[in-house]
Structure 1
Amino acid sequence: MNWDLPNVHVLEFVVPAEAIDVMGHVNNTEYLRFMEQIAWDHTTVLGLGWDLYQKLNRAMVARRTEVDYLAPAFEGEKLIIGTWIVNNDERISITRRYQIIRESDGVTLLRGRTQWVCVALDSGKPRRMPAEFIKGYQVTASEA
């Protein structure tokens, strides 16, 4: 695979029928689900799953997402989604990048990024990241 950055965390999946819209390809909103799915997968691999979020009364929530849709995907195609943490301000936010590649031809279908902000679970208000988030959400690839 021709990844944009090194040290990629990957997740593979096959496009299900329910992801297809009236135009016969993956609906735009489904890509956001794919991005959320890999973000959670990577978060869990980093040891920062939902149980720890609850224990710390903290969570990372999406503040801003940018997506460039480059080519369509279709039912039954195998996609490989990659993600990287490209920024952690060690205060309140991290930035995660995404790339989705179709396995059969290596075409990049999507590039995206999300700014995630730390909030208190009990209030939903922005809060400083706990030490566990600062350590766990280390930058995995530099955009420079």
Structure 2
Amino acid sequence: MKTSIQIEVRPTEIDVMGHVNNAKYLEYMEWSREDWYNRMELPFDVFTDMGVGTVTVNININYRKEALLGQKLTVSTEPLCKGRTSYVLKHEICNEEGELVADAEVTSVTIDLKKRKSVELPEKLAKAFT
């Protein structure tokens, strides 16, 4: 399932170049990713109750167009692919004109919270990729 959130660029997110600082795009994507988990009925406490955590292990991001102060952005998240212990979520950030501002593929791994070792994807998470 693809989900999306709406945000407005705030003054604290602008760098000396007058556009959104590169690190903020990752934060926007994280907010969208958390929304995706919640809509999939997999909020943080559900993972914790299973003794499982998710760890981001790789981010490949493309910065396509400047985002400026006050712009309204749509940040989307959708499942891309899964392995035995890892999975990839795709993010896109678009401006009000529908132009692609940034996109990324974020790879995460599920881990046993006590052993701190990777474990198979919980069934409920794996089903999100079918």
Helix, strand or coil at the partner of 1:124: coil
Deviation at 1:132, TM superposition (A): 2.6
Helix, strand or coil at the partner of 2:102: strand
Aligned partner of 2:92: which letter? Q
- CA 1:132–1:8 in structure 2 vs 1: closer, same or farther (change >3 Å)? closer
Question: Gaps spanning 5+ residues in structure 2: where?
Answer: none
- TM norm structure 1: 0.84
Per-residue deviation, residues 29-68 of structure 1 (Å, max 9, x unmatched): 0000011111110001101101111101112211110001
Alpha-carbon distance in structure 1 between the residues aligned to 2:85 and 2:121: 5
Helix, strand or coil at the partner of 2:78: strand
Alpha-carbon distance in structure 1 between the residues aligned to 2:14 and 2:4: 22
Alpha-carbon distance in structure 2 between the residues aligned to 1:88 and 1:62: 14
Per-residue deviation, residues 69-127 of structure 1 (Å, max 9, x unmatched): 011101110000111101122x2011111111001x22110111011111122343211
**Residue equivalent to 1:16:** 10
Q: 2:87 aligns with which of 94, 111, 121?
A: 94
- TM norm structure 2: 0.93
**Residue equivalent to 2:117:** 125
Helix, strand or coil at the partner of 2:47: helix
Per-residue deviation, residues 3-53 of structure 1 (Å, max 9, x unmatched): xxxx63111110111111111110000000011111110001101101111
Aligned partner of 2:23: which letter? T
Contact 2:2-2:79 at 8 Å conserved across structures: no
**Dislocated runs of 4+, deviation >6 Å:** none
Give aligned pairs, total.
130
Q: Pairwise CA RMSD of aligned residues?
A: 1.3
**Residue equivalent to 1:80:** 74
**Residue equivalent to 1:40:** 34
Question: Gaps spanning 5+ residues in structure 1: where?
Answer: 1-6, 140-144
Contact 2:4-2:76 at 8 Å conserved across structures: yes
